[in-house]
Amino acid sequence: MAERILTDKMIEEIRAFIPRYPSKQAVTVPALHIVNEHLRCVPRQAVVEIAQILELHPSQVQDTLTFYGYFKQDAPGGKCRVWVCRSIACALRGADELLEHLEHKLHVKAGETTPDGRISLEYAECLGACEHAPCILANDDLHQSVSPEQAEQLVASVK
Protein backbone atom coordinates (compact mmCIF):
# COMPACT_ATOMS: atom_id res chain seq x y z
CA MET A 1 0.00 0.00 0.00
CA ALA A 2 1.28 3.39 -0.92
CA GLU A 3 1.40 5.83 1.90
CA ARG A 4 -1.61 8.07 2.33
CA ILE A 5 -1.02 11.49 0.88
CA LEU A 6 -4.21 13.43 1.62
CA THR A 7 -4.25 14.88 5.10
CA ASP A 8 -7.35 14.71 7.27
CA LYS A 9 -7.81 18.41 6.66
CA MET A 10 -7.83 17.97 2.89
CA ILE A 11 -10.26 15.09 3.14
CA GLU A 12 -12.52 17.15 5.31
CA GLU A 13 -12.40 20.06 2.88
CA ILE A 14 -13.25 17.76 -0.01
CA ARG A 15 -16.11 16.14 1.84
CA ALA A 16 -17.58 19.55 2.60
CA PHE A 17 -18.25 20.00 -1.12
CA ILE A 18 -20.23 16.79 -1.53
CA PRO A 19 -23.64 18.07 -0.31
CA ARG A 20 -23.57 20.87 -2.87
CA TYR A 21 -23.99 18.63 -5.89
CA PRO A 22 -26.33 15.85 -6.87
CA SER A 23 -23.37 13.69 -7.90
CA LYS A 24 -20.10 13.03 -6.13
CA GLN A 25 -18.22 13.21 -9.41
CA ALA A 26 -18.99 16.93 -9.55
CA VAL A 27 -16.60 17.40 -6.65
CA THR A 28 -13.67 16.30 -8.84
CA VAL A 29 -12.46 19.78 -9.85
CA PRO A 30 -12.96 21.29 -6.37
CA ALA A 31 -11.02 18.32 -4.94
CA LEU A 32 -8.20 18.82 -7.41
CA HIS A 33 -8.08 22.50 -6.44
CA ILE A 34 -7.91 21.63 -2.75
CA VAL A 35 -5.05 19.17 -3.18
CA ASN A 36 -3.25 21.50 -5.54
CA GLU A 37 -3.49 24.33 -3.05
CA HIS A 38 -1.90 22.25 -0.33
CA LEU A 39 0.72 20.36 -2.34
CA ARG A 40 1.19 22.60 -5.40
CA CYS A 41 0.56 19.52 -7.51
CA VAL A 42 -1.74 16.50 -7.63
CA PRO A 43 0.39 13.35 -7.47
CA ARG A 44 -0.95 10.04 -8.73
CA GLN A 45 -1.53 8.74 -5.24
CA ALA A 46 -3.73 11.77 -4.52
CA VAL A 47 -5.75 10.93 -7.62
CA VAL A 48 -6.37 7.45 -6.26
CA GLU A 49 -7.43 8.81 -2.91
CA ILE A 50 -9.73 11.46 -4.40
CA ALA A 51 -11.32 8.72 -6.47
CA GLN A 52 -11.94 6.71 -3.32
CA ILE A 53 -13.65 9.59 -1.57
CA LEU A 54 -15.81 10.35 -4.59
CA GLU A 55 -16.52 6.70 -5.40
CA LEU A 56 -15.00 6.97 -8.85
CA HIS A 57 -12.44 5.00 -10.79
CA PRO A 58 -9.02 6.67 -10.52
CA SER A 59 -8.94 6.97 -14.30
CA GLN A 60 -11.99 9.23 -14.19
CA VAL A 61 -10.19 11.65 -11.91
CA GLN A 62 -6.98 11.35 -13.91
CA ASP A 63 -8.88 12.01 -17.13
CA THR A 64 -10.30 15.23 -15.73
CA LEU A 65 -7.00 16.32 -14.23
CA THR A 66 -5.11 16.02 -17.48
CA PHE A 67 -7.70 18.03 -19.39
CA TYR A 68 -7.15 21.19 -17.39
CA GLY A 69 -3.88 23.01 -17.86
CA TYR A 70 -4.03 24.35 -14.34
CA PHE A 71 -3.12 21.18 -12.51
CA LYS A 72 0.38 19.76 -12.33
CA GLN A 73 1.06 16.16 -11.58
CA ASP A 74 4.68 15.19 -11.81
CA ALA A 75 6.38 17.83 -9.73
CA PRO A 76 5.17 20.68 -7.57
CA GLY A 77 4.75 24.01 -9.28
CA GLY A 78 6.84 26.93 -8.07
CA LYS A 79 5.93 28.78 -4.90
CA CYS A 80 4.84 31.57 -7.16
CA ARG A 81 3.16 30.78 -10.45
CA VAL A 82 3.76 33.61 -12.85
CA TRP A 83 1.32 33.67 -15.75
CA VAL A 84 2.21 35.95 -18.62
CA CYS A 85 -0.75 36.58 -20.89
CA ARG A 86 0.04 36.08 -24.55
CA SER A 87 -3.37 36.66 -26.16
CA ILE A 88 -4.09 39.38 -28.64
CA ALA A 89 -4.62 42.51 -26.51
CA CYS A 90 -1.48 41.78 -24.50
CA ALA A 91 0.47 40.72 -27.58
CA LEU A 92 -0.28 44.10 -29.15
CA ARG A 93 1.38 45.75 -26.18
CA GLY A 94 4.50 43.67 -25.91
CA ALA A 95 3.56 40.40 -24.20
CA ASP A 96 5.88 38.27 -26.33
CA GLU A 97 8.89 40.38 -25.42
CA LEU A 98 7.86 40.24 -21.78
CA LEU A 99 7.72 36.46 -21.76
CA GLU A 100 11.01 36.21 -23.60
CA HIS A 101 12.65 38.57 -21.16
CA LEU A 102 11.52 36.47 -18.20
CA GLU A 103 12.61 33.23 -19.86
CA HIS A 104 15.99 34.76 -20.34
CA LYS A 105 16.27 36.11 -16.80
CA LEU A 106 15.03 32.98 -15.08
CA HIS A 107 16.78 30.52 -17.39
CA VAL A 108 13.60 28.53 -17.84
CA LYS A 109 11.13 28.14 -20.68
CA ALA A 110 7.45 28.89 -20.26
CA GLY A 111 5.97 25.87 -18.53
CA GLU A 112 9.00 25.17 -16.38
CA THR A 113 9.86 25.81 -12.75
CA THR A 114 13.13 27.34 -11.60
CA PRO A 115 15.48 24.77 -10.02
CA ASP A 116 15.17 26.46 -6.63
CA GLY A 117 11.41 25.91 -6.77
CA ARG A 118 10.61 29.58 -6.39
CA ILE A 119 8.92 30.36 -9.66
CA SER A 120 6.96 28.57 -12.31
CA LEU A 121 6.92 30.62 -15.45
CA GLU A 122 3.78 30.01 -17.47
CA TYR A 123 1.97 31.61 -20.33
CA ALA A 124 -1.74 32.23 -20.11
CA GLU A 125 -4.39 32.75 -22.70
CA CYS A 126 -6.30 35.98 -22.01
CA LEU A 127 -6.39 36.68 -18.29
CA GLY A 128 -9.42 38.88 -18.79
CA ALA A 129 -7.54 42.01 -17.84
CA CYS A 130 -6.87 43.27 -21.34
CA GLU A 131 -7.34 46.92 -20.37
CA HIS A 132 -4.12 46.55 -18.38
CA ALA A 133 -2.12 44.88 -21.15
CA PRO A 134 0.39 43.45 -20.98
CA CYS A 135 -0.47 41.80 -17.74
CA ILE A 136 0.85 39.14 -15.46
CA LEU A 137 -0.97 37.14 -12.83
CA ALA A 138 1.41 36.08 -10.06
CA ASN A 139 -0.45 33.67 -7.78
CA ASP A 140 -3.41 35.84 -6.72
CA ASP A 141 -2.00 39.20 -7.71
CA LEU A 142 -2.63 40.89 -11.01
CA HIS A 143 0.17 43.11 -12.26
CA GLN A 144 -0.83 45.72 -14.79
CA SER A 145 0.90 47.31 -17.78
CA VAL A 146 4.06 45.44 -16.92
CA SER A 147 7.34 46.51 -18.50
CA PRO A 148 10.20 44.02 -18.83
CA GLU A 149 12.02 45.80 -16.00
CA GLN A 150 9.00 45.61 -13.72
CA ALA A 151 8.60 41.94 -14.54
CA GLU A 152 12.20 41.40 -13.56
CA GLN A 153 11.66 43.14 -10.23
CA LEU A 154 8.52 41.15 -9.70
CA VAL A 155 10.24 37.79 -10.03
CA ALA A 156 13.22 38.98 -8.02
CA SER A 157 10.93 39.92 -5.13
CA VAL A 158 9.54 36.40 -4.79
CA LYS A 159 11.10 34.86 -1.73
Q: Applying CB under 6 A, which residues contact ligand FES?
A: 85, 87-90, 126-130, 133, 135
Preceding peptide of 134 cis, ω within 30°:
yes
- Integer Cα distance of 87 and 136 in angstroms: 12
14 binds other proteins (CB under 8 A): no
Residue 63 DSSP SS3:
helix
Q: Which CB, 68 or 153, lies closer to other proteins?
A: 68
Total chain residues near other proteins (CB under 8 A): 44
26-45 residues in contact with other proteins (CB under 8 A) are 26-30, 32-33
71 binds, among other proteins, ligand FES, none (CB under 5 to 8 A by kind): other proteins
Helix (H) or strand (E) holding 14: helix 8-17
C-beta atoms surrounding 116 within 10 Å: 8
Residue set of the binding site for [2Fe-2S] cluster: 85, 90, 126, 130
